Structure formats: C-alpha cells, structure tokens
Amino acid sequence: MSDLDNALKVLRTERGLTQAALADSVGVSRKTINTIENQVFIPSTVLALKLAHALGVSVHDVFQLPDRTPGP
Amino acid sequence: MPRMSATLLSRIRLIALAATGLVCLAYGVSAMILGRPDPFPSWIPVAFGGGSALLIFLSAFAAGNRNAEIATDELYFAESHRAQIFGFWVALMMYPVFGVALGSGWIAYPVAFAAMGTLSAAAFLLSFSILNARGGV
C-alpha cells in the first residue's frame, strides 16, 4: 500500500495529455510518470511541484496523504 | 541530425548492463563449478564491461543533454540506488560464505577471489536490470 495517493492520471487525461507528453513537459521519462500513476514510485517534492505546475493545479490537488494517515 | 531518444538510450543501457551482468554471473558460477579462476578468458567480462561503458557513453552523446537527463531522471537514480544496496549486501555476505568455504577446503583462494569479484558485479548489474525493466523500486 502506497504512502501517497495521487490523482495524476485523472488530471492528466482530463487535459488530454499522454504520459509521454506530460513526461516531456517536466523532463522525466514516460516510465516515471507511469510508475507515479500506479503508485509504485513516490516523486520528489520538486517533481511533484513540476507536475502540478504542468497540470495547472495545486500540488495538493495531485497528491494526498492516505486517509489512514494519523493526524497531528 | 536527429537525436537518439531517451527511451532508446534507456533501452541500450539496460541491454548493455544486463548482458554484462549475465557474463559476470556466468564467470563467477563457472569458476566455482570448474574449480578454476579462469573458467573462460578473463578478457570477456572485461570486454563486456568496457564495451558497455563505451556504448552507453556514445549513446548518451548521441541522445544529447536533455534526453540523457531524462534517461537519468529520479526514477533511474532510485532504481540504481536500490540495486547498489542489494549489491553491497551481497558483496558483504560473500565474505563469511566464502570464508567458510575456504576454511573447509571446498574452494581454492584464486577461485574464491575470481568468483567473489564477478558475482559482486553481477549482483548490482542484474538487480538494476530487473528493477529498471520492471519499472519502479
């Protein structure tokens, strides 16, 4: 079970972007985008911010902590 | 002149490193089975290692800076790091394993050194190849 949920695929497809196109816009490989969408790989903060910027949304709209994460 | 794509560069790198890893594994295992430090000419794993390095370098040159950076993005470094961890522990564990084998007289020192070196290399190269082919860490 991943430590980070994401809506990357939903947001990407809403904007009509392929994985390759999104990957090219943020300077990573298509495989990286694929592994992030499948929650196999957790991106760095910088890459997460780049992805949010490329999609035109806040990083919090793309990535969320799972509901089971204990609060403060 | 069109640049080599990042995907092609990654694929060339994967094939080169996997092939080198398999040769190193074959050398180490053969050394132990045959009981000799040179189961086949030692220049073969050297050629694969050096040839892979040269091939990857030339491919990265052909790909250009941007595509080379894409082919070495953070997922690549995560996979490489994970493979390095695995290779480190395999290399470390070889000392007690081969120490017992040497102390028991099951294997000669020249054979042990040949096997330990090539198997350590194979551990990193093959684990990276598997992680890279599978995608993700």
**B8: nearest CA partner in chain A:** A29
B-interface mutation test, from A6, A24, A30, A31, most B Cβ less than 10 A away: A31
What is d(CA B6, CA B9) in angstroms, rounded to the nearest whole number? 5
Are the beta carbons of A29 and B7 separated by less than 8 Å? yes
* 3-state SS class at A1: coil
Average per-residue pLDDT for chain B = 95
Would you call B67 an interface residue with chain A, using a CB distance cutoff of 8 Å?
A: no
Question: Model confidence over B79-111: pLDDT tens digits?
Answer: 999 999 999 999 999 999 999 999 999 999 999
The ipTM value here is 0.87
Of B66, B69, B135, the CB nearest to A31: B135
Would you call A17 an interface residue with chain B, using a CB distance cutoff of 8 Å?
A: no
Query: What are the phi and psi torsion angles at A63 (to 5°)?
Result: -120, 140
Read off the pLDDT band of A67 (50, 70, 90): confident
3-state helix, strand, coil in chain B (%, to 5): 85, 0, 15
Would you call A51 an interface residue with chain B, using a CB distance cutoff of 8 Å?
A: no
Are A51 and A8 contacting, i.e. CB atoms less than 8 angstroms apart?
yes
Are B48 and B125 contacting, i.e. CB atoms less than 8 angstroms apart?
no
Of B66, B69, B75, the CB nearest to A31: B75
Residue A31 C-alpha from the chain's centroid: 13
